[in-house]
Structure 1
């Protein structure tokens, strides 16, 4: 198998959405991570349904798959970044409303997943109260998603209440392990915040992995960097995705690089393709042949589903 690469529209903030999609497709990407935000797909502007239909038609023309991202910084509050969120003291219902709008947009576009996160717990609020808030909010979003057949993918974010893959798994457990709630993994976040490697986290998420973001970072610093500028072992990261049979998009997440978006997007795809080739060569050279034959036997005998 091979991986499917995408690029986040939040890295094309200086482009019109139609132009950004054309550039991303023209470079050879398989899809886009579409952030619902005012520069592109404003979820609160008039004629949302008509605009969504038009974007869907454009995605189809360009043969681009899509996931929906909801990390817009100031879409709800022009003064406070990422506020209100699912664990805020007030206004949590506004975040739930935004996420439900994203679910409806995703359903209209045939998106593979809608990705979101918890937000940062205010000072003085207990962890028990944080869990109560986030589970309540996510349950409301899942209700909307279930109606529309959408997959929700929860992202652990450094500095937020739910900040690790283990935290996402705990959230799922508290909600009764719903089928429609899965995991978003940002490989850079692993280096910045997780105790284990990218491979550890990929295998920890396993078949719950529904959305992947790719970028570079350094340990302890939540700053999205181009590949090669941080400490992410990109071939190893992509190799782990291949190991678990991940079939979703792996979309570049560089929201602060819009000033040079086409150039950065081209460099990023070159780096991803080179890293994937290295990962595939390593797998084949070491044990890929035997692994592939064993997998084929299991699939033939009905012991393992095709990815």
Structure 2
């Protein structure tokens, strides 16, 4: 089991500074942010790719994940989504995802994480949203196949796909080997699931894990490790028992004002627990 930290907490830093800070905090890897002010795919050229790879090599960091979920370069975390009623606006998310796949491939990484459809529009049915999400991904999947990069759909509270069951149902619906799961333990805890049971249900689809603590009321608020009610040690113990060898990336994006300190404190929690 390897540990990374997500660059999405470092929006007040550039990507070079972020790599240095995450490495100095003792992590094995970093989740790159495919959004401004970091590595928005439409802004990335061959020179940028070479610079990123050099910086990672210099600091001994691997890429734990390429985060293609957030899209503040256009509007926000969730919009434009794959299920926008306006097809032209929806196409912006589709085109962004295609570019993100190509950027991940240029960086020699095997997957990107994406939002699970998006917020279901009030005027649309769930069935319409599921079908539209599937159609959006069907447009993206030829690029995924061409560049040999997987799409990790990340269940999230209040979006189209929230639970492990909903992910399995959607994966069966689209039935494509490039569709995988970005397993966010805190998200599944928020919607009432036991993270260990959820991992066991989704393990065949999982190559990457997100970790954060969650408040006792299970509200969707990414909280510093040890400050909430998530059974973190039980969950990490279960991953260890199952010989999970992928990355566990700590994702604490609300902590922008204290990102460097937050990354160090999360590593201290992991060290004190004997996980690193």
Shift of 1:269: 1.0
Give the whole-Å Cα distance in 1 for the aligned partners of 2:269 and 2:240: 16
TM-score (norm 2): 0.92
Per-residue displacement from partner, 1:130-157 (whole Å, max 9, x unpaired)? 1111111122222211111112211001
149 and 81 in structure 1: CA distance in 2 versus 1, 3 angstrom threshold: closer
- 1:144-171 superposed Cα distances (whole Å, 9 cap, x missing partner): 1111111221100100011112212111
Match of 1:189 in 2: 187
Structure 2 matches for 1:52-71, cutoff 5 A? 52-66=49-63, 67-71=65-69
Q: TM-score, length-normalised on structure 1?
A: 0.84
Shift of 1:276: 4.7
Q: Structure 1: any 5+ residue segments left out of the alignment?
A: 279-307
Is 2:82 the partner of 1:86? yes
CA distance in 1: counterparts of 2:50 and 2:2, whole angstroms: 24
Secondary structure at the aligned position of 2:146 is classed as helix
SS of alignment partner, residue 259 of structure 2? helix
* Equivalent residue, structure 2, for 1:162: 161
Structure 2: stretches of 5+ with no match in the other structure: none
Equivalent in the alignment of 1:25: 23
Q: From the superposition, tell whether residues 277 and 213 of structure 1 become closer, same or farther in structure 2 (CA, over 3 Å).
A: closer
Distance 1:94 1:73 in 2: 10
Give the paired residue count.
Answer: 271
Structure-1 separation of matches of 2:187 and 2:202: 14
Q: Kindly state the Cα deviation for residue 181 of structure 1 after the two structures are TM-superposed.
A: 1.4
The answer on whether the counterparts of 1:76 and 1:82 sit within 8 Å (CA) in structure 2 is no
Which residue of the partner structure matches residue 174 of structure 2?
175
Local SS of the residue matching 2:248: strand
Which residue of 1 is the match for residue 74 of structure 2? 76
Residue 224 of structure 1 is matched in structure 2 by: 222
The structure having more radius of gyration, on CA atoms, is: 1
Q: What is the root-mean-square deviation in Å for CA atoms of aligned residues?
A: 1.7
- Residues 245-301 of structure 1, C-alpha deviation per residue, up to 9 Å, x if partnerless? 3222111111121211221111101212333549xxxxxxxxxxxxxxxxxxxxxxx
